[in-house]
């Protein structure tokens, strides 16, 4: 009998197939004592396992490229954390085996993260995955992870570690469903990059029996268990119609009455460029330069290395617009040479532009590298600062750009409510705004983007978030300047219409989402988008906002 479960849809498309479960976690190693003379050998085993796991994570990142590479390199840094390793060696010195010492040391660190506020608590899943991989290697057992299968399937998991999501084979993994996570979690972002339908934050998903037939709608968030033939035919027909619409859609982004809405791509480096070009991206709306810096947490990359990487991306979009975000370090992207190690809540501390203003040499080198990379290229370079709070921040960044001789537009990211509330003031110092809706939602609702329990507050359809977007867009319009969206909200085709109606001037997203957004925007006029935006803002809940917008655009 067909039943329907509802989670949060985070990656478009429909997947129909049998359930396969993620491999089980590593069992807790036995607590046994070793003789003192074996301690040195056990410490060596632990170090070798840690280095092997870190190398494997980096290799997986190199294969995956894009967003996945930065995420996996951050996990490798977690594995090699010197304080953790010191704790492991101390436990071995007093009699623990290598595997038990790793297990206990990670458990202690895990407790610290879990109690350090929601932002860091959301990194527990990544820490658990690193621990499991090290312990599995020490025990000589298979790594937990994606199941082996010769037939395509729908993957079910409590959560997916970045190392697993990054290398999913879309020819075998039709889609996935997780019990935890949120619309802007690492798994959701990587699913969109892969183009795999996905639903997250679905309690009870793990109770679905192996081999159960399910249909996953990554747009609506619905999972149909043992779907009827009628439901399967309905979903397949809908998916076919969507593919046909995508195939028929091409050219620049625009509404049905010709209002231009440039559709740009979010990239993490040169590896992401081919997919963006293939999707018809009109440029880059968010170049996440921090992934270059994560290659070595001990020191910043040289100016020469930065010039090389930046130029590869700039060359791919002749006559196009490329918006570069300067280094956004801190919080879940710590760098030893830049971010404090003892902050009680890094998400609310010295992060983003704050870190760069404390280390002006790092900022100046990056700005100089960008200037040199753009020399002689027919590209429209724009550079923006992350985590701008007020006009003082904006002025400090603009001054730094001018001092470095950068020939580009200077902009500010709106990720903090204060920046949206005082957007017109900020625009006295910079030439454009870009809304990072992931962090803007996180800071507006005090809801960590990695914590499934608060995922409803991370929903970009929340009317309060739409109000802040509207404030920023209206301020930019009044100043005759642009205001784009580069957060995950832009990847939702229906929400893209609402954002357009709010006055947003460009949309940037993962390459896989561009065709969906282009095809949907082309169906509606600017006036329809404006009416849908007004209806969404008049609602009291995210669900109500989405329903109201749908009703307007469907002519109900």
Among candidate residues 12, 401, 483, 486, the one labeled active-site is 486
User: What's the angle, vertex CA 205, arms to CA 202 and CA 210, rounded to 5?
Assistant: 155
What's the maximum distance between 2 C-alpha atoms anywhere in the chain? 79
Among candidate residues 186, 401, 483, 529, the one labeled active-site is 186
DSSP 9: E
DSSP string over 495-540 = HHHHHHHTT--EEEE-GGGHHHHHHHHTTS-HHHHHHHHHHHHH-S
Phi-psi region of 492 (alpha: psi -120 to 50; beta: other; left: phi over 0): beta
3-state SS, residue 214: strand
Query: Judging by DSSP bridges, how do beta strands 432-435 and 283-288 pair with one another?
Result: unpaired
Rg (CA), the chain: 24
444-to-123, 232, 313, 415, 457 alpha-carbon distances in Å: 20, 39, 33, 9, 9
How many CB atoms are closer than 10 A to CB 472?
28
3-state SS, residue 17: strand
How many CB atoms are closer than 10 A to CB 56?
17
Residue 483 β-bridge partners: 433
Instruction: Determine whether 486 is an active site residue.
Output: yes
d(CA 537, CA 530): 11
335-to-66, 306, 345, 462 alpha-carbon distances in Å: 19, 17, 15, 33
Are the C-beta atoms of residues 108 and 159 closer than 8 Å to each other? no
Instruction: Determine whether 529 is an active site residue.
Output: no
d(CA 507, CA 253): 9
Which regions of 90-221 does DSSP assign to beta strands (E)? 153-157, 173-178, 198-200, 213-217
- For residue 424, which of 414, 436, 438 has the smallest C-alpha distance? 414
3-state SS, residue 484: strand
d(CA 363, CA 342): 22
Residue 286 β-bridge partners: 266
Residue 21 β-bridge partners: 156
Report phi then psi at 222, rounded to 5. -90, 145
Residue 236, C-beta contacts closer than 8 angstroms, at least 6 positions apart: 14, 16
Are the C-beta atoms of residues 197 and 512 closer than 8 Å to each other? no
Active site residues per annotation: 186, 486
């Amino acid at each position: 009998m067909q039943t329907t479960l509802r989670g949060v849809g985070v990656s478009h498309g429909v997947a129909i197939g049998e359930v396969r479960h993620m491999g089980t976690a590593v069992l807790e190693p036995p607590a046994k004592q070793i003789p003192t003379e074996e301690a040195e050998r056990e410490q060596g085993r632990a170090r070798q396992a840690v280095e092997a796991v870190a190398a494997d994570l980096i290799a997986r990142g190199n294969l995956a490229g894009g967003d996945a590479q930065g995420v996996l390199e951050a996990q490798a840094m977690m594995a090699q954390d010197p304080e953790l390793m010191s704790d492991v060696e101390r436990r071995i010195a007093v009699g623990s085996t290598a595997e038990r010492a790793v297990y206990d040391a990670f458990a202690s660190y895990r407790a610290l993260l879990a109690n350090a506020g929601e932002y860091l608590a959301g990194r527990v899943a990544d820490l658990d995955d690193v621990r499991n991989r090290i312990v599995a290697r020490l025990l000589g057992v298979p790594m937990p992870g994606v199941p082996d299968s010769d037939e395509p399937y729908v993957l079910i998991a409590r959560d997916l570690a970045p190392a697993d999501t990054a290398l999913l084979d879309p020819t075998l993994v039709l889609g996935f469903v997780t019990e935890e996570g949120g619309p802007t979690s690492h798994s959701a972002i990587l699913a969109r990059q892969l183009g795999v339908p996905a639903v997250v934050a679905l309690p009870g998903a793990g109770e679905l029996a192996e081999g159960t037939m399910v249909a996953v709608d990554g747009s609506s968030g619905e999972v149909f268990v043992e779907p009827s033939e009628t439901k399967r035919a309905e979903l397949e027909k809908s998916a076919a119609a969507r593919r046909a619409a995508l195939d028929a859609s091409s050219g620049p982004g625009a509404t049905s009455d010709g209002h231009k809405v440039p559709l740009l791509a979010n990239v993490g480096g040169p590896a992401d460029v081919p997919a963006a070009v293939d999707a018809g991206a009109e440029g880059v709306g968010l170049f996440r330069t921090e992934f270059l810096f994560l290659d070595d947490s001990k020191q910043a990359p040289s100016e020469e290395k930065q010039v090389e990487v930046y130029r590869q991306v700039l060359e791919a979009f002749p006559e196009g617009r490329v918006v570069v975000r300067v280094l956004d370090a801190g919080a879940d992207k710590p760098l030893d040479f830049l971010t404090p190690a003892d902050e009680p809540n890094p998400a609310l501390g010295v992060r983003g532009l704050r870190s760069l203003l404390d280390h002006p040499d790092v900022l100046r080198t990056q700005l100089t590298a960008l200037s040199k990379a753009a020399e002689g290229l027919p590209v429209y370079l724009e550079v923006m600062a992350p985590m701008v709070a007020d006009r003082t921040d904006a002025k400090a960044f603009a001054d730094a750009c001018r001092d470095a001789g950068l020939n580009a537009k200077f902009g500010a990211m709106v990720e903090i409510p204060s920046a949206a509330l005082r957007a017109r003031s900020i625009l006295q110092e910079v030439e454009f705004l870009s809304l990072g809706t992931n962090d803007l939602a996180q800071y507006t609702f005090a809801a960590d983007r990695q914590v499934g329990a608060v995922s409803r507050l991370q929903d970009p359809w929340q009317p309060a978030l739409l109000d802040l977007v509207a404030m920023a867009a209206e301020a930019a319009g009044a100043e005759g300047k642009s205001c784009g969206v580069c957060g995950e909200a832009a990847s939702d085709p229906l929400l893209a219409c609402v954002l357009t109606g709010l006055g947003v001037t460009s949309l940037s997203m993962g390459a896989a989402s561009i065709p969906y957004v282009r095809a949907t925007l082309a169906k509606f006029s600017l006036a329809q988008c404006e009416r849908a935006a007004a209806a969404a803002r008049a609602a009291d809940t995210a669900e109500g906002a989405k329903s109201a917008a749908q009703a307007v655009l469907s002519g109900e």
